[in-house]
Chains A and B, each alone.
Chain A
Amino acid sequence: MEKIDWIIAGVGVVALVATTLGVLYEEDLTGAQDITFPLDERTINVPQSTAFASAGTLTAPAGENATAAAMDVTVSFEGNAVAPQGGATVRVTVTDPAGNVLPAQTQTMTINNAANGGGGVDVVFSFDLDFGTVPADTTVDDVDDLDASNTWADGYTIDVSVTNPADPFTNVPNGATYSYAAAAAITESYYMHQVVVTDIQGGA
């Protein structure tokens, strides 16, 4: 064989190896990146002399193509407790876009007396949400299924109810204000970043 024939054979081998590696190469499309975003904030004012529950609603925005998500709901006390120390009962309910109510969670919020600095100790509720949009083992071959139909058009509804400390309630002289906020952490699938080229500058 002439020298050029060896060169052609060598390039052919390289092309074959490149093809094999290229076929075997699979980008890790099942990986994920977490995105955390605040949802909303609300306050509930609980009048002084009444030990009762109040409720408000937060709504998560519509999103796209998440594989999994978690939502934290944080409830804070902003009142002016004096004494003695007591506990408020906080209950959070999450309803998914289809109207299914996730199991409610209840916690007791400690409200400190003045000697302990006053104020309440934040309570955090965590909910694992299944947005049901994209299978966790998504690969590029599944991209056909990952179109706009996988977005969720309706938000999750978060209901929070609070019962003031009952004994003795007069120690919250101006009533109590509880604020609560939710933050969602969404795991976004990588496939969104796969097609990066939208145009070419050169060619013919």
Chain B
Amino acid sequence: MITKKRLLYVVIILGMVIFQKSFVPLFFSGSYLPDAVLMLVLTWTIIDGFEEFLWWAVFAGFLCDLFFYTQIGMHIIIFVFTVYFVSFFSRRFLVEISTNGIFLIFFFIIVVTFFSIIISFFALSLNSESWYEIAKYFSNPKDIFFELLFNGFFSLGLFFIIKKVRKFLSTQ
């Protein structure tokens, strides 16, 4: 049962990383690309909680850093923050697909998307002299708005998928 669960988690995370690298950039073809892996981590944390999902988030971050040719650690930090932040609030409030729950999920999406942008900005600035240009790129309100919008759609879709996965695992 545990092996089956682990295998399923590995397959879903790996699949989502490949989806983010090989499907999303060509399909959306713009500077506002949704972050499917970040949304997967966010949604899974709401459902699984901090203790259960922390090391999976580290694994997802490590895979992202490997596949996206970024500095090893960048995505891990983003995802670990996401897990902590989301679990901090979701422990206190009931997060479900209801009016209040959806508002709370959108609040999570906004905060973690901005955090992801900030960390990416700092990681890029470490290896570059032209930080002004990076800042200019990351501060486009239209791009940020669309990124948030697409992240919202992804998150809601993933919420239902992960619920199904949980249900499948609990019936096994």
Specify whether A and B are partners. Answer: no
- Residues on A close to B: CB < 8 A? none
- Residues on B close to A: CB < 8 A? none
